[in-house]
Structure 1
Amino acid sequence: MSIQSPGLAPAGGQGRINTLYFAVWRWHFYAGLYVIPFVLLLSITGIVMVWFSAIAPEYGERLPVMPQGAALAVQAQADAAAAHAGGTVTQYIAPYGAENPALFRVAVGDAARIVAVNPYDGAVLRDTAEGDTWEELADHLHGELMQTGAAKVWGDLAVEIAASLALLLVATGLYLSWPRNGRTLRDMLVPDLAARGRAFWKSLHLVLGTWLSVILVFFLLSGLSWAGVWGGTFVQAWSTFPAEKWDAVPLSDATHASMNHTAIATVPWALEQTPMPESGSGAGSAGTAPGAAVDLSAVVALARELGFDARFQVNFPQGESGVWTISRDSMSNDSTDPTSDRTLHVDQYSGRILADVGFADYSPAGKAMAVGIPLHMGLMGLWNVVLNIGLCVLLLLIAVAGVVMWWMRRPAGAGRLAAPPRPELVPLTKGVALIGLGLGMAFPVLGLSLLAVLLFDLVVLGAVPPLKRALS
């Protein structure tokens, strides 16, 4: 199979290989034009997010407090937070340990504040408007390019296109760097530090890309699982925990995603699209003490009784049919162990447990994402922080090396892009065709992007000579 200009016959032998090499190089180049700005943006925002989530959290949850005997009742702590912010408490986040404060989300009109409270004396240690953090800003840039409302879809799509084309960059990059024509496996794995000029930058780009290819694919796939098309429409929809597993429990029209209050998602990926249960049916299993008030203190006591230790979260019921939700998951920075993730719903009237979902209940894809998302976010410990920041720095270096290589290859004063030449004949072996078809079917945005670039290269550039010269 081949893409052939009129009047030319297929070439064979080494010419066939060289022609395919130049075609792949050209695809690699054009994909890089779109992806490199996103690599710079996503790497920088990734470093910011990892730093403020794992090293210097901004809501005050890691502030030191001095233990002073027994802690105040959790309701007293909540009352202190509500009085300070002048609103209504809607969420409680237990301290990491005896020397850390508790956090309370306090709704104030249409907004909310996160208040850090000393659990021993009720003193407010920090008061922050929800979402008014560097991590939130970086996350909003990282996922939607700061777009809101209807435009958020387009920001998300632009990032998804970049991540999809980055998969193409990995595949084409490995093909281009594969040993051939005197180049050895050592050249692919060990940088030539003695080289000078463009040869040095090419060696650096090639070797770093080779070593990072596997881990980069993992990060791209885990990131795409959040994206609107491949993630939300395909993978997540197929892998969501089925609410039908909850026996005879009435379901709400609201999903678990309704508990995500800002751009930073805190609800487990496998549950986001799962409907919430409803209160008031008398269904469920034994929970809080019968006849006692089902309030924050009772729900926290139930959580402790069921094995929730250290940091966990309690979301208050939303509306008359809402439920108390007790949760601990690693993507919310509650723990560094994804296998301890657990979400439990309690009827706000009877105190009965309506649903109890843990890591073991997730689908295989749900389990993979339960581990993959905190790993992607750098939340699984210091080693994960070092890994992620190191990866971001190396990706910045790869991108810079690619730009330097292009600049040094570009003819001085050419006034054009100086893209790799487009062969008149591009031989496509069955293997190449099947790989392209498989990637396009597995990642629809990638397939459509490849089709758009191919049509632009073969049709538009051919029909507009000035544009062809500028981009050639």
Structure 2
Amino acid sequence: MVVRCRLCSSAICLRITHVNTQTPTIDSSEKLVPAAAEVTPPPPVTPQVSTKTTTQTTSHSKLYLAAWRWHFYAGLYVIPFLLILAMTGMAMLWTSTLFGRDGERMTVVMQGEPMAVSQQAAAAQSAVPEGELVQYIAPLSPDLAAIFSMKTADETLSIAVNPYTAQVLDQTSRENSWYNLFDNIHGSLLLGTTGDRLIEIAASLSMVLIATGLYLWWPKKTGLLAALIPNVRARGRALWKSLHVSVGVWISLLLFVFLLTGLSWAGVWGEKLVQAWNTLPAEKYGAPQSEDIHASMNHDGTKQVPWALEQTPMPASGSDAGSVVMTAAMPVDIDSVATLARGLGFEQRFQLNLPQGETGVWTISRDSMSSDSTEATTDRTVHVDQFSGKVLADIGFQDYSIYGQAMAAGVGFHMGTLGLWNVALNTVFCLSVIFLCISGAIMWWKRRPVNAGRLVAPPMPANMPHWRGAALTGLAISLFFPMAGIALLVVMFVDFLIVSRVPMLKRALS
């Protein structure tokens, strides 16, 4: 090899005994020596990067981009629904807390002993002569009104009655009440079965949001505690991101509980799968079965029957079955059954549904979901034969399946009926969900270039590592939450047949 000196342009011959792949740099300040004394300079030291470490970093970056992309696209669909659910949920919460679902928060002046329930019922009947009395709700405390539900050809009316004077205080339509409006929006968007399915898809995809959000947040360099505290010194999009991440992590477990209890009421995953497998078998109480199920006691779409009993057939009156609890001389009417309820331990507020039809039964019930009590473990449903007065079934919290018990507690918690602490916590939760939706939209808006003309979604990484695991995870989610699976299949179908073939759409959605 010949090297020419940069100072005198003379050629210097060097014998290279070791070939180095990196050409050594010769500085002009170095002292040149004769060829005989020339020594090959050592190669410069370069930091060695582990191939394994580099591969792991690249794989992590690709997984991060993939999770971000899923989080982004799931959020596009979910955000409008979460906003609606949070706002209507908070409206239902405070409407029931301040006024009650059926006006049962109306106060009265206590005047000695309450009048017989039959006298109060007669007053309610006189207010709606064409109506049929279907339910009596005992007051939660002595200074509150009693509620009677009257069913007409067009609607169900709630009649508030002063239990001391049998005076009708108020008459409202359940169907046209504010609570019922918020409840129908919350459950079906006023679209019936279609709305129920759309909300179920949103709730299912929200599970994807939780999983991908936690993956994106998981601390890699900072400690766990530091990652839970937002960086309030940040500015711009960094501040919004810090607040979004911290609030999301703090409420992630609560959001999971709310989504799971809500999905358990949904028409596909809840009614067809989970509820069907956790419904109390009617054979357990041994009485003849009616053709009606417990859900028939729900009025105007409002859930009033415990989740674990909705699909359970009702017992039928008219047989020799049942336990004797009333004397033979005692007539079986609303007064005697209300007295029986007190004797069986139904204190303060309870619901009494009247028999419907020849095989109908008197049903005494109390559950935390309906604000009858603040403890799910006290849930109880008793069915009484309308002819003999015998107890055909006495179903308590302990008779539910494990999931049914979890739902008894979870639905009460979801609805904020377990006490003032529950109302306060649910209010903060709803406000947090609204903030997450708004902050997510703001983060996207601040990230997108001006006049981009497209969604500016996070890029899909090439050569996705562990794609088989991701595919299996997606398959598992699709099988566990069928509506989410159907939504994903529809998106893939539309993307393959339409979006990928129309350049304008492909650019707009990228």
* TM-score computed with the length of structure 2 as normaliser: 0.86
Cα offsets for 1:367-387 (capped at 9, x unmatched)? 000000010000000000001
Report the Cα offset of residue 451 of structure 1: 3.8
**Equivalent residue, structure 2, for 1:21:** 64
Alignment partner of 1:368: what SS?
helix
> What amino acid is the match of 1:193?
V
Alignment pair present for 1:162 and 2:162: no
**Equivalent residue, structure 1, for 2:8:** none
**CA distance 1:456–1:110, shift in 2 (3 Å):** closer
State the alpha-carbon separation in 1 of the partners of residues 471 and 298 from structure 2.
42
- Within a 5 Å distance, the mapping from 1:293-308 to structure 2 comes to 293-308=331-346
Q: Quick check: 1:188–1:210 contact (8 Å CA) kept in 2?
A: no
State the alpha-carbon separation in 2 of the partners of residues 359 and 442 from structure 1.
27
Alignment pair present for 1:88 and 2:128: no
Q: Quick check: 1:288–1:299 contact (8 Å CA) kept in 2?
A: no
- Within a 5 Å distance, the mapping from 1:233-272 to structure 2 comes to 233-247=272-286, 249-272=287-310
Cα offsets for 1:255-274 (capped at 9, x unmatched)? 00000012220001000000
> What amino acid is the match of 1:154?
T
Which among 182, 187, 190 is matched to residue 138 of structure 1?
Answer: 182
Alignment partner of 1:370: what SS?
helix
Alignment partner of 2:308: what SS?
coil
Alignment partner of 2:314: what SS?
strand
**CA distance 1:212–1:340, shift in 2 (3 Å):** same
State the alpha-carbon separation in 1 of the partners of residues 265 and 151 from structure 2.
27
Which among 205, 211, 222 is matched to residue 250 of structure 2?
Answer: 211
Which among 328, 334, 350 is matched to residue 372 of structure 2?
Answer: 334
Alignment partner of 2:352: what SS?
strand
**Equivalent residue, structure 2, for 1:6:** none
| Farther off after superposition, 123-132 or 394-403 | 123-132
Q: Quick check: 2:156–2:299 contact (8 Å CA) kept in 1?
A: no
| Farther off after superposition, 438-447 or 41-50 | 438-447
State the alpha-carbon separation in 2 of the partners of residues 110 and 220 from structure 1.
33
Report the Cα offset of residue 443 of structure 1: 1.8
- Within a 5 Å distance, the mapping from 1:38-437 to structure 2 comes to 38-57=81-100, 59-86=102-129, 87-147=131-191, 152-180=192-220, 182=221, 184-186=223-225, 188-247=227-286, 249-428=287-466, 431-437=469-475
Report the Cα offset of residue 429 of structure 1: 5.5
Report the Cα offset of residue 425 of structure 1: 2.6
State the alpha-carbon separation in 2 of the partners of residues 261 and 101 from structure 1.
20
> What amino acid is the match of 2:408?
A
**CA distance 1:458–1:425, shift in 2 (3 Å):** farther
> What amino acid is the match of 1:145?
L
State the alpha-carbon separation in 2 of the partners of residues 205 and 346 from structure 1.
53
> What amino acid is the match of 1:159?
I
> What amino acid is the match of 2:103?
G
State the alpha-carbon separation in 2 of the partners of residues 360 and 426 from structure 1.
49
Q: Quick check: 1:250–1:277 contact (8 Å CA) kept in 2?
A: yes
Cα offsets for 1:113-146 (capped at 9, x unmatched)? 1111001111111111122211111110111010
> Which protein is bigger by CA-based radius of gyration?
2
State the alpha-carbon separation in 2 of the partners of residues 301 and 322 from structure 1.
19
Q: Quick check: 1:45–1:141 contact (8 Å CA) kept in 2?
A: yes
Q: Quick check: 1:59–1:126 contact (8 Å CA) kept in 2?
A: no
**CA distance 1:457–1:208, shift in 2 (3 Å):** farther
Whose relative contact order is higher, 1 or 2, with alpha carbons under 8 Å and at least 6 apart? 1
Cα offsets for 1:69-108 (capped at 9, x unmatched)? 1211110010011101223322111011211111101123
Cα offsets for 1:327-352 (capped at 9, x unmatched)? 11111111111111100111111111
- Within a 5 Å distance, the mapping from 1:444-463 to structure 2 comes to 444-457=482-495, 460-463=498-501
Report the Cα offset of residue 186 of structure 1: 4.7
Alignment partner of 1:92: what SS?
strand
State the alpha-carbon separation in 2 of the partners of residues 384 and 99 from structure 1.
23
Aligned length in residues? 456
**CA distance 1:251–1:323, shift in 2 (3 Å):** same
Structure 2 stretches lacking a partner, 5+ long: 1-53
| Farther off after superposition, 162-171 or 125-134 | 125-134
Structure 1 stretches lacking a partner, 5+ long: 1-10
Task: Provide the aligned C-alpha RMSD in A.
Answer: 1.7
| Farther off after superposition, 393-402 or 83-92 | 83-92
Cα offsets for 1:127-180 (capped at 9, x unmatched)? 111222111111101110102xxxx22110100000000000000011111223
* TM-score computed with the length of structure 1 as normaliser: 0.93
Cα offsets for 1:428-448 (capped at 9, x unmatched)? 256544443433332222233
**Equivalent residue, structure 1, for 2:41:** none
> What amino acid is the match of 1:95?
P
